[in-house]
A and B are shown apart, each in its own frame.
Chain A
Amino acid sequence: MIYAKMMFGGLGRRGFEAISAAMILTFAVSIVVTGFMIVAGSRDALLRAERADRPDVVHVKGRYNRALFETPRSGNLPPLTLPVYEPLVAAEAFANLASNVLVLPRQSLLRNVVTANSFLNTYVFGIEPEREAQVSRFSVVQGRFLRPEDENTVVVDQASARALGVGLGDGIAIRKADGFDLKVEIVGILDNMNLHNPPPRTVDAPALDPDASFVSSGIFVTLRTSQVIFGRTTLTDALLVAPSADRVPAVVDQLHHAFRLEPGVFVTERYARFRRKVHDFAASLAFFLSVTGAAAGLSAFLIIRLLHDVYAERRQQLAILSALGFSPARNTLTLIGLGMAVALSGAIAGMLLAVLFAPRQFAMPSLMADLGSVEPRLDRLVLVLIAGSSALAIGLGLTPTVWRLTRHTLARELADPAP
């Protein structure tokens, strides 16, 4: 009680000033906290966009040959190989890439699939299941997904299974390149899939998403099985995952070099476009951050001025306490207690205001609204920033008084009236 009185009692005019300043401080801090929350939310939006865009992924694909798609429209295919992309990508070309670049080889082709009562044009994808799962998402509703050691087993999507009239554990025949059928067993059924860099959808085939312009269904087999069906080892396409997005240009350079003699192979990446988007977003964010920084600076200045005035008022009291045997450390703690109470009450009140009234979400006013909406949030970093700036302001406000008390003699402080 006596400490509370020593800290807060007898402030007089300064007490009124302190209350007014604390109110202004509350509004200033609420602006700062809102700013920091928006910055934190923007960082999330960026990370979200990065996860969705995967700028670290490079796509290598063979030439897309439309002419070959004319035939399947009849619905009753002759036993022809009809690639989506031409199988021009030799897997050996990736051997010289850095070891930390992940290679996801693919064979995607269109095939005539036959069951006891039905046949169908459908996409067949040869993949390496564990690697593919790192960039694409598959939702298995029945059975299981492919395993690396699987042979002559397939996972099929619900739309294709329905069209073929088959279910889990049934067998289907896929026509191979040599004209014979390969009997395979269905080990899993997908109700959803999100294939990274799927081929364009130009042929009538069952689809999980009928409106999609990209293939949204298919029969998945291991690469080993697809090589048997396809009758060749060259790939139609491959995904390469760079260790980080900024390593993509180097990977692309290496790929251009590797496929310089193969005009039918194309290398595409999203990194350059993503970087342009991010640059625009970062520019908007930097502007916002500078406004927030200015508001933070103003708030800190306000706290520093207020504490300086309050402390100056208290210098003679501190000198009296020192004369009565209070140690410098005990006096400094009393000062810090006062500073903490003023600064933290403003900071906490401001934080509450910000949390209550900050917008729940909004679009960043920039060219790259397609990064998604920004959801302001109060995270640990924001709390650390606010606590840090409050502590810094208290420290700066306290410094002149502590400096004076340690540099000047107590006798002089006792003789000098408070300002």
Chain B
Amino acid sequence: MNRAGFAVLRSVSKTYRRGPTGIDVLRDISFSVAEGEFVLVCGPSGSGKTTLLNLIAGLDRPDAGEIIVAGRSIAGLSLAAAARYRSQCIGFVFQSYNLLPQLTALENILLPMIPRARWDRHAALDLLDRVGLAGRDAHRPPELSGGEQQRVAIARAFANDPSLILADEPTGNLDEHNADLVRELLRRSCREHRKTLIMVTHDRQATQWADRVLELRAGSLIDPED
């Protein structure tokens, strides 16, 4: 596994300003993730885990430092370029699923294909089948349980065959049984498709499946391996 390559963060810092005061959410974060690696980012609430993921996804911009994903620097991308980058490279799994309630499960999976002008209904049905929701394609999110919704969200994250999956507390809103299901599904899907996975969680059980665990505390990285 090439550790030096796929996603690289160098001296990344982020401060949120609330009036005259600034809160340092991330301080001088540097690490890299190899292609196909499963990296877990752990830490208590407010330690900057979600911000870190948002920066890698191009949903937010760092105040300092450099982020390179698949050889592309993403810190200074315009809104349109960042959208293109997410469409081509990133699959995102949110803690609160973020499915569109007015669309069916199948349509939610098809959604990321629209910007790529690729409308593959069979692929979407196949993804739904793989997450164990075959036959639920016409159901809308309010008609699905939390675990089922998160499985639809995972299928959606894989819709464009991205190289990097970012998962933000994917089991945070689920009970123990569903959390196990989702965790296993994510791990298995990434392994099968050789996807790089960066997952943010404070779920300690996930650490046993990860290739590497990074610990964030008060915006600073504590890498047990470094």
* Residues of chain A whose beta carbon lies under 8 Å from any beta carbon of chain B: 2, 5-6, 9-10, 317, 320-330, 406, 409-412, 414
Distance of B111 from chain A, by nearest CB (Å): 6
Contacts of B114 in A (CB 8 A): 2, 326, 330
Given the known inter-chain contacts A325-B84, A325-B86, A406-B79, please indicate yes or no for A6 contacting B100, CB distance below 8 A. yes
B83 at the interface (CB under 8 A from A): yes
Binds A, one of B32-40, B55-63, B184-192, B209-217: B55-63
B10 within 8 A of A: no
Known: A2-B107, A323-B59, A414-B94. 13 other contacts (CB 8 A): A6-B100, A6-B103, A9-B100, A317-B100, A323-B57, A323-B92, A325-B84, A325-B87, A325-B88, A327-B83, A411-B51, A411-B60, A412-B60
Establish whether residues A409 and B92, one from each chain, have CB atoms under 8 Å apart when the complex forms.
Answer: no
Bound complex: CA A10 to CA B94 (Å): 20
Q: Please give the distance in Å from B14's CB to the nearest CB on chain A.
A: 10
Q: Could you give 9 example pairs across A and B, Cβ below 8 Å?
A: A9-B100, A321-B111, A324-B87, A325-B86, A325-B87, A326-B83, A328-B83, A410-B59, A411-B60
B residues within 8 A CB of A327? 79-80, 83-84, 115
How far is B106's CA from A274's CA once the two chains are assembled, in angstroms? 72
Is B2 engaged at the interface, CB distance under 8 Å to the other chain? no
Give B119 Cβ to nearest chain A Cβ, in Å: 9
Residues of chain A lying within 8 A (CB to CB) of residue B54: 409-411
Interface pair A325/B100, CB less than 8 Å apart: no
* Residue in A10, A320, A323, A328 whose beta carbon sits within 8 Å of that of B102 in the complex: A10
The residue among A6, A324, A411 with the most chain B CB atoms within 10 A of its own CB is: A324
On whether the beta carbons of B83 and A325 are closer than 8 Å, the reply is: yes
Closest A residue by C-beta to B89: A325
Q: Are B110 and A325 in contact (CB under 8 A)?
A: no
Cβ-closest 8 pairs across A and B:
A325-B87, A9-B102, A10-B102, A411-B54, A410-B59, A411-B60, A409-B60, A411-B59
Q: Are A414 and B83 in contact (CB under 8 A)?
A: no
B43 at interface, CB cutoff 8 A: no
Please report the C-alpha to C-alpha distance between residue A415 and residue B116 in the assembled complex, in whole angstroms.
Answer: 26
Interface residues of B in 77-118 (CB under 8 A from A): 79-80, 83-84, 86-88, 90, 92, 94, 98, 100-103, 107, 110-112, 114-116
A410 to B103, CA, bound (A): 21
A10 to B112, CA, bound (A): 19
Q: Are A324 and B111 in contact (CB-based, < 8 A)?
A: yes
How far is the CB of B27 from the nearest CB of chain A, in Å?
18
Interface residues of B in 48-70 (CB under 8 A from A): 50-51, 54, 57, 59-61
Least CB distance from A42 to B in Å reads 48
- Does any Cβ of A come within 8 Å of B149's Cβ? no
Q: Which residues of A contact B50 (CB under 8 A)?
A: 411
Q: State A414–B59 Cα separation when bound (angstroms).
A: 9
Contact of A2 among B83, B87, B110 (CB under 8 A): B110
